[in-house]
Amino acid sequence: MISVRLKTVQLVLSSLTSLSLLAASGSVCSAGDVEAGRAKALMCQACHGLDGLSKTPDAPNIAGQTEPYLVAQLQAYKSGARKNDAMSVVAPSLSDKDIEDLAAYFSAIEINVVKMPGR
Ligand code: HEC
């Protein structure tokens, strides 16, 4: 449990480092900008993947998720209404604009269901 938490803290810290690098680059962007969202998604990729497909056992896939749902969840982590060891550290550093851009990017990833089980 302790090593899992340590791993989470390391992932969060490396993610926040990417965030400061991004802030230092001074990129300017408009609301719900997919390109800007892709750049900001570098701070999510260790867990959710740049492709939005989970890279850790406890992180969910978020590729192709609906935009309003993504915005709502990120706002909930930011406000504290929804809590999680990783997301409660990541989300407070996100501005409303960051959240819109990230939601625009991850929701725009195209996913295809190739096979459904059971038939
Ligand atoms: C250190 C790993 C980690 C990082 C970095 C991370 N996440 Fe997460 N994320 C998680 C985990 C674990 C969950 C599941 C949390 C829970 O159970 O509430 C989650 C949940 C979410 C959810 C809710 C998904 C759902 O199905 O309800 C969204 C949306 C999300 N993350 C977006 C992001 C975005 C955007 C970033 C980058 C700004 C990011 N996350 C960075 C680990 C991470």
Nearest in space to 59 (alpha carbons), one of 95, 81, 32, 85: 85
Percent residues over pLDDT 90 in the chain? 73
Task: Indicate the burial class of 57 (C-beta count within 10 angstroms; 0-12, 13-18, 19 or more).
Answer: exposed
Instruction: Provide the 10 A C-beta neighbour count for residue 35.
Output: 13
Can you give the pLDDT at residue 29? 37
For residue 65, pLDDT beyond 80: yes
Task: List, in order of start, the domains of the chain with CATH numbers.
Answer: 2-108 (1.10.760.10)
CA of 119 to the centre of ligand 1 (A): 32
* Over residues 35-54, mean pLDDT: 98
Instruction: Decide: 96 in ligand 1 pocket, CB within 6 A.
Output: no
For residue 63, pLDDT beyond 50: yes
Nearest CA to ligand 1 atom 41: 44
For residue 17, pLDDT beyond 90: no
Nearest in space to 76 (alpha carbons), one of 85, 65, 87: 87
Whether residue 64 contacts residue 109, with contact meaning beta carbons closer than 8 Å, is answered with yes
Which tokens belong to 44? 């999510």
Instruction: Decide: 102 in ligand 1 pocket, CB within 6 A.
Output: yes
